[in-house]
Amino acid sequence: MSDKSKNGIDRRDFMIASLATVGASAALAVSADAADAEDTASTPASGTVYTGDTIEGKKVVSALDVDDLEPGQKHFLYFQGAQMPTGQYWYVSVTVAKGARPGKRGILTSGVHGDEMSNIHTVQTVMNQLDPAQMSGTVMAVTDVARPAIESMQRRWPNQGRGVDLIDMNREWPGNENGLTAPSRHAGLLFNRLLRPNADFAIDFHTGTTGFEVTAFNIGGMDVPDVKAMVELYPVGQIFDNHVYPGVLHNAFMDVGIPSFTPEIGAARVLDLEMIALFVEGTMNVLKHHGIVAGPMGRTGKDVNVFTGNSAFPILATQGGIVEHLVKLNDKVEPGQKVAIQRNSFGEVVAEYTSGVAGEITGQRSDAMSEPGNPLVFILFHKAALVGAEAYPE
Ligand SMILES: [Zn+2]
């Protein structure tokens, strides 16, 4: 599993250099020669690899199989992700609640976008409620997936490719260990060596983004019974029944047959404790559904008036100016209903925005100033015929 040859030089990087300079056929020859050092970029790793390092008393792994961990305990580890330009590593925190008895293995992730906080708190709260001695199965949490984005509390990863590029890590999954950017490699390492090998199901928690607030909802393909069964266990008001697009983490799981979906928990940058409690309750229900945790179900979707849509109608700004919303999150709207107006610097109304559909408000621009083209409102609604990929306000 070592990435290094005997002289400590990473041979995978020779392969990439070959690909870039002398073409693919030469690279294939190098690839055959380097087979002993080549890592599995497309198949899950098996077995735990400790690097021998510890950080603040926590052991570092470069691959993890939760079956190798002591049952009936919580384990706190660092996973070694992609390298920084200095040659140091982006470590991510891994918490494993390993049940005393065998059972299903669930994964809870947050921090794929760096400005989202309520999702991190949700995962932490669930993990803090778990008692491994009473569990049948395993729950693993990775709360800070896109570390460099989180360090600056911004959505995207500041990559050092051609000057600083900001890369949205939730367009990179399942990643590529030999990819051309750090977030691509980081995604590949995490997916192949940490997430996929330990998942019977996976939940990737998000919130709205800086400047754009969303309500509480879950995104998932409700035509997949294993996904539907989990999503319906959340006492939250909206379901976005859609497979969205490739590159998002929950779809990388789905593509390899692991049921997965994405909860969205309100506004970015803040903790919404009331909303967090709903997602904690729903996630505990999911763990009970899978037999990992015992006890009665909490409230589910049946206990709230869930609105399900399969499409998000976007309203984009046509002008620059200050936006004034006329409706609130979760409000029901009708076609033709005015939902926002916009004023220029003189206070004159320069635009009026109306809904094109009957649905419920699922997201609103929270930065009052807007330039043309920015999404101002997303309205969750039911579309008769879906064509192509759908944008959504994650
Ligand atoms: Zn997000």
Give distance in angstroms: CA of 113 to centre of ligand 1: 5
Give distance in angstroms: CA of 53 to centre of ligand 1: 31
d(CA 88, CA 288): 40
Give distance in angstroms: CA of 287 to centre of ligand 1: 23
Percent of the chain's residues with pLDDT above 90: 84
Same fold: 49-303 with 312-381 = no
pLDDT (0 to 100) of residue 385: 77
Looking at domain 312-381, which CATH architecture does it have? Beta Barrel (2.40)
- Is residue 24 scored above 80 in pLDDT? no
* Cα angle 221-213-371, degrees, rounded to a multiple of 5: 110
Give distance in angstroms: CA of 280 to centre of ligand 1: 18
Structure tokens at 266: 């309100």
Coil, helix or strand at residue 29: helix
Give distance in angstroms: CA of 333 to centre of ligand 1: 25
Give distance in angstroms: CA of 241 to centre of ligand 1: 17
- Write down the pTM of the prediction: 0.89
8 Å CB contact between 392 and 219: yes
Give distance in angstroms: CA of 268 to centre of ligand 1: 9
pLDDT (0 to 100) of residue 61: 98
By the 10 Å C-beta count (0-12 exposed, 13-18 middle, 19+ buried), 220 is classed as buried
Any idea where the domains of the chain sit in the sequence?
Answer: 1-41, 49-303, 312-381
Strand partners, 49: 63
pLDDT (0 to 100) of residue 32: 35
- Residues 6 or more apart in contact with residue 139 via CB below 8 angstroms: 96, 97, 105, 106, 107, 108, 126, 127, 130, 287, 292
Residue 111: Cβ within 10 Å count: 25
d(CA 373, CA 127): 40
- Residues 6 or more apart in contact with residue 336 via CB below 8 angstroms: 354, 355
Give distance in angstroms: CA of 117 to centre of ligand 1: 10
Give distance in angstroms: CA of 158 to centre of ligand 1: 16
For the chain, the average pLDDT equals 90
Domain 49-303: assigned CATH number: 3.40.630.10
The secondary structure element, H or E, covering residue 33 is helix 24-33
156-198 tens-digit pLDDT: 999 988 888 999 999 999 999 999 999 999 999 999 999 999 9
Measured CA to CA in angstroms, residue 382 lies from 189, 241, 379 at distances of: 38, 9, 10
d(CA 85, CA 219): 35
The mean per-residue pLDDT over the stretch 251-263 comes to: 98
Q: What is the DSSP letter of 42?
A: S
Give distance in angstroms: CA of 155 to centre of ligand 1: 7
Give distance in angstroms: CA of 94 to centre of ligand 1: 19
